Structure 1
Amino acid sequence: MVSHSRFWRDPALPFVEARGVEDGRKIRYAPHSHASFSIGAITAGSSTYVSGNRHQQVSAGTVVLMNPGVVHTCNPINGQPWSYLMLYIDLPWLQALGFQPFDALSSDSQPLYQRLCQLYAVLLDDRLGSACKDAALRVFFSELIQQVPSRMPGSGRVSPPLLAAAAFIREHCTEPLRLEDIGKAVGLSTSYLIRAFKRTFGLTPHGYLLDQRVQYARARLREGALIAEVALEAGFADQAHLQRAFKQHLAATPGHYRSAQ
């Protein structure tokens, strides 16, 4: 799988990360989310795309948009070949440009698709300096924010106790957490918490906890931390447990992810 997937990072541009996958048949994701905003281009074939409670098939030429924190998957269709590229952008950097969560899951705009592919090529071009890449990123995302409709304020409201439960899990994700601890913290029974949390966020509280631990591990690995140390810091029982969860959520091993330039 490693030979079909490439991560790109630049220490001078810590707010952006890119990934390219040449053969998506070898990549399969469990439901997961990102703290960052994600945007991708399907460059060949087709795949299924699920975001929240919305489901669609996407094909070559489609751009997919994934708001921060939204549980999603994008997986092959019965072993059919497909390939894609992705950009992950830190939320504070985007918000400084005026970002609000987008309403659209995807776009079939060919100019947008071409601009995204061109931006990806600029980022991976070793002949270009970081200042040039930074300028290209600012132009692309400033235009994207102007052109793609944002979600209407107040849409998709979540009850305060469930929001509090999600926030409690995020804050304590590296600690041993039981359902009883979460329910007690927000005043919900464990049975209701499981049902309502899954219905609202697309993951059970335990699934959300694992997702947050993987996100924590991902951030630490980007800093160059050792995998064994990260596993314990993030609240996993051992390195093997981190390995399994990381592959399910990011379709890459911690070692492959950490070794990206």
Structure 2
Amino acid sequence: MLSDVTRATPKFWRDAQLPFIEARSIDDGRKVHYSRHSHEIFSIGAITSGQCVYLHEKTRQAISAGTVVLMNPGAVHACNPIEDKPWSYLMLYVDPHWLAGIQHGGEWGEPQGFQPIAATYTQSPELFNGLIDVYQHLTDPDQEVLAKQQAAVGFFSKVQQSLGRSRSTPKVVNQRVERVGEYIDAHFMHSIRLEDMCAVASLSEAYLIRAFEQRYHMTPHAYLTNRRVQYAQAQLREGATIAAIAQQSGFSDQAHLQRVFKKHLAATPGQYKA
């Protein structure tokens, strides 16, 4: 029988031959707590047992086993336990450029970008079972790469057929606030002051913070921290050492990186890298 520590330890899967997709699962999520965060990739997950609280942008709701959750790139979200009730889940993280090829049918011509999916969750048995199946294919060491590729393409084709036809409402773009997001993206490895961002946007401090949170569902500081965690993830996948990443990515030291990384992803950098 697995110990409570083992069951609560996240399991990650990656394959250099399939760089467009990554998987994660956890058997007991009672001790798993995420802060609100976002990814640069598309995320889709299945609640395999129990219940949890699902935060997505400005919404909050309890979801249970059989539910599939979906997060577009940049969507702020978190799934956390309800009191001390057991729950488990699995996740797939997918390159949106690869997914765009499936959305547009692989047609020749001008490349088309990823189309955000409007649905934030579904209780479709077909998609739930399909997600479980593709996860098992991907993590099975006896499956050939071709079989894994086919399983992934088949599943995400079903997602597109079921959920991809509805269009999300376009966001009203505030160019000044967008410039601040771009500024953080370009300078996140360094210390950034509020007055620097105000100068970029030609906005007052109070207005900038309010408008930025309305646009990104995070404060500027939370966005900056999240961007640093995203960078740390990418560097860990490339094999960089935790100490080197901490030095490069704007964290004060390795311990700071460890604390923030675990708060965002409910896993230590070492667990993610393994």
Pairwise TM-score range, normalised by the shorter structure: over 0.9
Alignment of 1:156 with 2:171, yes or no, is yes
Deviates more, 1:147-156 or 1:106-115: 147-156
2:14 to 9, 26, 34: 9
Counterpart CA distance in 1 for 2:11 and 2:87 is: 15
| Structure 1 unmatched ranges of 5 or more | none
Q: 1:9 to 1:79 in 2, by over 3 A?
A: same
Q: Which amino acid aligns with 2:23?
A: A
The one-character-per-residue Cα deviations of 1:61-111 (angstroms, maximum 9, x if unpaired) are: 000001100111110011111000000001211122224111111001011
Residue 39 of structure 2 corresponds to which residue in structure 1? 34
Residue matched to 1:120: 135
51, 54, 72: which one aligns with 2:59? 54
Q: Indicate the structure whose relative CO is greater, using CA pairs within 8 Å and at least 6 residues apart.
A: 1
Query: In the alignment, is residue 246 of structure 1 matched against residue 261 of structure 2?
Result: yes
CA distance in 2, matches of 1:150, 1:28: 33
Which residue of 2 is the match for residue 25 of structure 1?
A: 30
1:218 maps to 233
> Residue 102 of structure 2 aligns with which residue?
97
Which residue of structure 2 lines up, in the alignment, with residue 131 of structure 1? 146
1:177-200 Cα distance to aligned partner (Å, 9 max, x none):
111111211222222111221233
What one-letter code is carried by the residue in structure 2 that aligns with 1:51? H
- Partner Cα separation in structure 2 for residue 186 and residue 126 of structure 1: 50
Task: Tell me how far 1:150 sits from its aligned partner.
Answer: 5.0
Tell me if 1:171 matches 2:186: yes
Provide, for residues 32-62 of structure 1, a one-character-per-residue CA deviation record: whole Å limited to 9, x for no partner: 0000100000000001111111222110000
Letter in 1 for 2:157: S
- Over the matched positions of the two proteins, sequence identity in percent amounts to 48
Unaligned runs of 5+ in 2: 104-113
**Residue 111 in 1 paired to residue 126 in 2?**
yes
Moved more, 146-155 or 201-210: 146-155
Q: Are the counterparts in 2 of residues 100 and 150 from structure 1 also a CA contact under 8 Å?
A: no
Where in structure 1 do 4 or more consecutive aligned residues deviate above 4 Å? none
The CA RMSD measured in Å over matched residues stands at: 1.4
Matched, 1:184 2:199: yes
Cα displacement (A) at 1:152: 2.9
Task: Provide, for residues 126-158 of structure 1, a one-character-per-residue CA deviation record: whole Å limited to 9, x for no partner.
Answer: 100112111211111122112204563653323
1:128 alignment partner AA: Q
For 1:66-105, what aligned pairs fall within 5 Å after superposition? 66-98=71-103, 99-105=114-120
Is residue 236 from structure 1 mapped to residue 251 from structure 2 by the alignment? yes
Measure, in 1, the Cα distance between the counterparts of 2:149 and 2:44.
17
Aligned equivalents of 2:165, 2:57: Cα separation in 1: 16
Give the partner amino acid of 2:49. A
On the 8 A contact 1:49/1:58 being kept in 2, the answer is yes
Residues 118 and 168, structure 2, Cα contact 8 Å, conserved in 1:
no
TM-score, L = length of structure 2: 0.91
